[in-house]
Amino acid sequence: MLDKRQFYIDGQWVAPQASHDFDVIDPSTEEVCAVISLGDEADTNTAVAAARQAFDSWSQTSKAERLVLLEKLQTIYNERADEMARAISTEMGAPIALASTSQCGAGSSHIKNLIRALKGYEFDQPLGDHAPDNRILHEAIGVCALITPWNWPMNQVTLKVVAALAAGCTMVLKPSEIAPLSSLLFAEMIDQAGFPAGVFNLVNGDGLGVGSQLSGHPEVDMVSFTGSTRAGIAITKNAADTVKRVALELGGKGANIVFADADEKAVMRGVRHCFNNSGQSCNAPTRMLVERSLYEQAVAIAAETANKTAVNTASLEGHHIGPVVSQMQYDKIQGLIEQGINEGGRLVAGGLGKPEGLEKGYYVRPTVFADIHNQMTIAREEVFGPVLVLIPFDTEEEAISIANDSPYGLTHYVQSQDSEKANRVARKLRAGMVQINGTFLGAGSPFGGYKQSGNGREGGVWGLEDFLEVKAVSGWN
């Protein structure tokens, strides 16, 4: 069992000012794998003060100076990738193959892409030929509170921390207390790279404690949060009194529209994508909308794919899904599966309980519901587990209407070999991202959503600009 009862504040590892131990649970075994401390208000205030003290000097560093340190960080991160993959796999249950590639790899990719965005970004720009004495300056917003989730820990930590560093901001990171080990390792990497004291600080804590203290803190200029819509609303309200910027990346209920002319692998691809990371992705395609002429065939393919989806421990090599992250998540998912059955959904794969032979650990059976309509609870709430619902449609207009009939608008998907139709539908979908025929978003593409999926964008130039203020100056010579 690891002892991780320290915070990284003002360039050094320090003991918490008031000890409140918290057990980190390995979801594959339900055993304690580490002990951390949850911070109190004194720890939060100390970290914010360190970030405030460091801001004036760090915000005035040149782009070249920041690039040197970020490139060192990238090298260190890649050199310690095996450590990072093991930490992620242990803390949140990602199978080691997924942790080594997609989970750890996301962090490396975001560091690389944000370095590229910084190299090409001009912080000082002319307004235009019509006003030659006017300049537009892009300046660091200030001290940032970065609050990250457990499901893709390094994906979210790097998107926030590296963008904030590139913009010239200082920060306090509060990772999820459920999966803090990867962030503590990342703090070691920041220290190893040689960032100045106070620029990056880490305090562990829960949402009601350190999270609330940061979002309402008068010396914090911005909160960047990824997590549930419920928590995002609470953070926004708490931040309102100090009129700080709040950037939110929240939940999703992705619609995957499968037209009758979709390629033959579209349904299988959609099921696998939904189940990836044990369904614990805000952008998962959890609602499969299928044109009626293809519907029963799609139900059969989805059920077969789910039944062939292996479930096993995170430490085992191979292509399988692991457990969900916690007992709380497991219980929530079981409750929603039960509600789907009670509301009349046709269960064609999976269901309640754990897979055979996996009684210890938070394992969920890969589950598929057919004959769902869009007003059922399981079609509207974010399950955050390996659970897919299938909904039939008759016309293009009906498919778009069903897809958009959601409080969320993060990522939708379109499957059609008619490119004109696919592009037309993509334009009408109310979501921050649309993926057509299994293609992935390009490096540096903006990540974020419409409606209750949040505001702001992460990644690339958009992610950098989330952490910048805009200043107009006239009379510039």
- In the structure, what pLDDT confidence band is assigned to residue 471 with cuts at 50, 70 and 90? very high
Under a CB-based contact definition with an 8 Å cutoff, are residues 240 and 69 in contact?
no
Catalytic entry in 104, 169, 282, 465 = 282
pLDDT tens digits, 409-436: 999 999 999 999 999 999 999 999 999 9
pLDDT, mean over the chain = 97
pLDDT tens digits, 200-210: 999 999 999 99
Tokens 């390009």 locate to 442
- Concatenate the DSSP letters of all residues of 123-175 into one string: SEEE--TT-TT-EEEEEE--EEEEE--SSSHHHHHHHHHHHHHHHT-EEEEE-
Beta strand 135-140 with 468-473: parallel, antiparallel or unpaired? Answer: antiparallel
Closest by CA to 313, choosing from 359, 260, 251, 259, is 359
* CA angle, residues 423, 287, 431, in degrees to nearest 5: 45
* H-helix or E-strand spanning residue 473: strand 468-473
pLDDT at 1 over 90: no
Report, as an integer, the average pLDDT of 80-107.
98
Alpha carbons 439 and 328: distance in angstroms, whole number: 33
Overall residue count recorded for the chain in this entry: 477
pLDDT tens digits, 264-318: 999 999 999 999 999 999 999 999 999 999 999 999 999 999 999 999 999 999 9
pLDDT tens digits, 24-48: 999 999 999 999 999 999 999 999 9
- Concatenate the DSSP letters of all residues of 313-362 into one string: -TTS-SS-B---S-HHHHHHHHHHHHHHHHTT-EEEE--SSPPTT--SS-
Q: What is the CA radius of gyration of the chain?
A: 23
Alpha carbons 368 and 221: distance in angstroms, whole number: 44
Please give the share of the chain, as a percent, with pLDDT higher than 90: 99
Alpha carbons 229 and 464: distance in angstroms, whole number: 23
Helix (H, G, I), strand (E, B) or coil at 32: strand
Please give the share of the chain, as a percent, with pLDDT higher than 70: 100
Residues contacting residue 234 through CB under 8 Å, at least 6 positions apart: 207, 212
pLDDT at position 477 is 85
Dihedral angle of Cα 114, 120, 124, 126, to the nearest 10 degrees: -140
pLDDT at 381 over 90: yes
Catalytic entry in 91, 249, 291, 382 = 249
Report, as an integer, the average pLDDT of 81-86.
98
The question of whether 31 is a catalytic residue gets the answer no
Put simply, whether the predicted model's pTM sits higher than 0.95 gets the answer yes
Helix (H, G, I), strand (E, B) or coil at 215: helix
Report, as an integer, the average pLDDT of 254-259.
98
The question of whether 469 is a catalytic residue gets the answer no
pLDDT at 19 over 80: no
